[in-house]
């Protein structure tokens, strides 16, 4: 059985106005993850993703780079309690 969990990441750097949320959503959907991504008022991006551990690791790794126009300086990561989501979306 595949271990499922949820992660919450805060991505810092030049991550707003560079298609970060849309690209994150695309990547998460590609890996079959569920959850959401949103901009924060302090110019960071928050990601909550749930699914198999291996796919979450892929997304977490991708967040350190992001889309071509992004300049990621930091990604914080924490595992959180499982949440049910129907899909992955931008909020």
pTM (2 d.p.): 0.95
Residue 2's pLDDT is: 63
Q: Which of 21, 34, 38, 43 is catalytic?
A: 21
Which CATH number does the domain housing residue 26 bear?
3.30.70.100
Cα-to-chain-centroid distance, residue 41: 17
Let me know how long the chain is: 91
The stretches in the chain having pLDDT less than 50 are 1
* Tally of structural domains, the chain: 1
Note if 21 is an active site residue: yes
CA distance 9 to 28: 13
Whole-angstrom CA distances from 86 to 27, 51, 62, 74, 80 are 16, 11, 22, 28, 18
User: Would you say residue 41 lies in a domain?
Assistant: yes
User: Would you say residue 22 lies in a domain?
Assistant: yes
User: Would you say residue 35 lies in a domain?
Assistant: yes
Note if 43 is an active site residue: no
Whole-angstrom CA distances from 25 to 1, 2, 53 are 26, 22, 17
pLDDT, tens only, 67-87: 999 999 999 999 999 999 999
Residue span of the structural domain in which 57 resides: 17-83
User: Would you say residue 63 lies in a domain?
Assistant: yes
> Which residue bears the tokens 């699914």?
51
Q: Which of 8, 14, 38, 39 is catalytic?
A: 39
User: Would you say residue 43 lies in a domain?
Assistant: yes
Among candidates 52, 44, 1, which has minimal Cα distance to 24?
A: 44
User: Would you say residue 56 lies in a domain?
Assistant: yes
């Amino acid at each position: 059985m595949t271990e499922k969990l949820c992660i919450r990441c805060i991505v810092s750097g030049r991550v707003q106005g560079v298609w970060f949320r849309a690209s994150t959503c695309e990547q998460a959907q590609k890996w079959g993850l569920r959850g959401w991504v949103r901009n924060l008022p302090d110019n960071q991006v928050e990601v909550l993703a749930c699914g198999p551990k291996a796919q979450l690791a892929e997304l977490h790794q991708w967040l350190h780079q992001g889309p071509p126009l992004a300049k990621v300086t930091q990604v914080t990561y924490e595992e959180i309690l499982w949440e049910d989501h129907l899909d992955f979306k931008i909020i």
